[in-house]
Structure 1
């Protein structure tokens, strides 16, 4: 055997209530190490490499007097399997994606480029006023779903997302697609889910009942109390929309039974009160959950959060996260979407070579049938990846995904959250740098701190209320 060395970039050590906890970076898993494993890594770190014999002697002298050669060999084999100890080159574990297929489970249909709002921070480059909106037709929607079936015929369940513009402005198409998709997919013995993000201004009680009957997953774009919401979420006539949205969502939040209703909050310059906004949306209005999306890379710089404001946002997220931990320890769910998603990633050990499923499990389709990485790219200058009539451009899409997963020449290569963040959102990189390949370096430190908080929170809940993960958190995922 050669010289034993640690691979420090594959392990992040934290302390929880004075006890050691290992965050295993390659798998995003958490381990509570015993004294032997801790001492092995400490000895190897201090000496910057030891022979097995020298390591064994150091461990015996350090208090492991009953340690046999077989026991040490067995433990070293475990640490090598975890890529924490090596006899070869010290290289951080960075798996690259090799795309052989595109297992689509989700297609996002951009059913209308028209929108009845003129939100000041909107990123959509293909947005039109309601009169000039370009609507998708049924044939394009059907071809989009057929494309998904062709690429992943073995799946048992698929998801159709309706997006815009404002998707409710093309409600006739939504009804047609639902009827056709249910008949088509149920006839194949498969299930189909429907998801929709809306500004809620066109909701009616009849539409709410329809969505409930077909178990739609609904997300409402709402930025918080009236003064905050009306700052940017305005109608095309320049008027604020809070009062209208609050009126339209009241019967939705009172009567919707099939799935929980979430709110999506966009945080722009001057808006950092995460705790107060969450309280209004969840405790006062009755949303099941609220999630926050800070704007840091918009085309209009005046709406981007400053570095100081972004720090305030993350501080607020930690404060709200502490409340979420306390709620979880009582067996409840505070309804903080970002916190719940982070703990889900840790609970499932979700290790990602790419930041999201865009281009692999998900694609977006515009009104002309052109295929985009995700809904945020429709109307942009980013090249498309085929058309629903002619099929995916497999070679181009494969090249993009594989190149983005290669971290060897990027700052992500040794980052401790590289398999959770994976370089960040494609579109945020595109908006900030004009290049979806460039990682979102501008908030790396804050993201690392946020994940460290999540690790601490996970450990505290696991110790105090382990059934919470199979209870409230699992129910959230299934919903």
Structure 2
């Protein structure tokens, strides 16, 4: 079932982050997209969502304004889109989130975000020297200073964002975490680097067998030692919940069904955006909100239907692993290879196993 629609309201970005799955990996289809979503596509998307929600009693869908960099639409347009979404969707709208790099958060933009009641996802990769090494402008200048100014404006307006940080296997995770806590961040998600089996070595060569675990384990230790229930750090909190028998949230671990779809600026309905690291065109479908509703996914795109409603089985290696219930093979794009498609363990399999082993030892929970 679809619970979230990630809506590209802008297809371009003012940054050129070196690791970006959208602009700097295998797929360049973003070049074919309109720079901004039209009113026609936006309104039609809302009615497609509303049609979908009406099929189930009290069903709600969350909306994510995404890009590119969605603030490129400007404060006036952002206010208009937000207002229109709330008006059309009404009680069928669970929430609206703005996912931003934070560099264009003027006082006017922040005022719109506050007035529109938007949640904010905010990308930050650590202190200036770490962040600026990878999150750069098209002129190759660092973006940390602009992002921090944006963060300060949000906080001044009483808005505390959820921070997303992409793991950089070549820096100290402990240093990154200490910096985040020093600036008062309490809602942090660390994302494993997006790469498939075919390109891992060209993107992330390392002398360590487990560079991602080497980054994350000191972060986990610092978080656990702090023992502050007001500080939420994912994926640790989700993994612990799963280890304790609960339901871990998110789509990175546990092999869950994908509960969202992407809608591009031209109205194309596409699969999980980060699959672009796998191969060119892999997210493409023949579906478009201008012509189709979400119920047509089953008939017109078997892969997207499978992601949402059926799921992908684990490979033989994962089925035999004692961590299969928690890990679930890892994030779907990280399982991909041209030769075997999704029939692989995660490219970060060794890292995940080491991290889970360390976490279990620390909290005293054995694998089942």
TM-score (norm 1): 0.63
Give 1:165's match in structure 2, choosing from 68, 84, 100: 68
CA contact (8 A) 1:113 1:126 kept: no
- Name the CA distance, whole Å, in 2 between partners of 1:145 and 1:118: 30
Equivalent residue number for residue 266 of structure 1: 166
Equivalent residue number for residue 94 of structure 2: 192
Larger RCO (CA under 8 A, 6+ residues apart): 2
Once the two structures are TM-superposed, the CA of residue 232 in structure 1 deviates from its matched residue by 1.5
Deviations 1:203-256, CA, capped at 9 Å, x for gaps: 012222322233322121121111111112111112122222222222223432
Give 2:305's match in structure 1, choosing from 352, 374, 398: 398
Give 2:330's match in structure 1, choosing from 424, 430, 434: 424
CA contact (8 A) 2:83 2:116 kept: no
Matches within 5 A, 1:398-477: 398-399=305-306, 404-407=311-314, 410-430=316-336, 433=338, 436-458=341-363
Asked if 1:111 corresponds to 2:9, the answer is: yes
Deviations 1:372-396, CA, capped at 9 Å, x for gaps: 1223357941132622132332131
Q: Which has the larger radius of gyration?
A: 1
User: Does the C-alpha gap of structure 1 residues 455 and 367 become closer, same or farther in structure 2, counting only changes over 3 Å?
Assistant: same
CA contact (8 A) 1:274 1:316 kept: yes
Equivalent residue number for residue 181 of structure 2: 282
RMSD across aligned C-alpha pairs, in angstroms? Answer: 3.2
CA contact (8 A) 1:224 1:280 kept: yes
Deviates more, 1:240-249 or 1:226-235: 240-249
Equivalent residue number for residue 370 of structure 1: 268
Asked if 1:343 corresponds to 2:240, the answer is: yes
Name the count of aligned residue pairs: 344
Give 1:327's match in structure 2, choosing from 201, 221, 226: 226
User: Does the C-alpha gap of structure 1 residues 441 and 404 become closer, same or farther in structure 2, counting only changes over 3 Å?
Assistant: same
Matches within 5 A, 1:352-363: 355-358=255-258, 361-363=259-261
Deviations 1:249-281, CA, capped at 9 Å, x for gaps: 222234324xx422222234523x111011112
Listed as ranges, the gaps of 5+ residues in structure 2 are: none
CA contact (8 A) 1:222 1:263 kept: yes
- Name the CA distance, whole Å, in 2 between partners of 1:348 and 1:218: 30
Deviations 1:144-164, CA, capped at 9 Å, x for gaps: 233233334334432100111
User: Does the C-alpha gap of structure 1 residues 321 and 301 become closer, same or farther in structure 2, counting only changes over 3 Å?
Assistant: closer
Give 2:40's match in structure 1, choosing from 136, 139, 142: 139
User: Does the C-alpha gap of structure 1 residues 343 and 148 become closer, same or farther in structure 2, counting only changes over 3 Å?
Assistant: farther
Once the two structures are TM-superposed, the CA of residue 303 in structure 1 deviates from its matched residue by 7.0
TM-score (norm 2): 0.80
CA contact (8 A) 2:200 2:347 kept: no
SS in structure 1 opposite 2:129?
helix
Deviations 1:121-173, CA, capped at 9 Å, x for gaps: 211144869xx962111222232233233334334432100111111112344
- Name the CA distance, whole Å, in 2 between partners of 1:112 and 1:315: 35
CA contact (8 A) 2:335 2:341 kept: yes
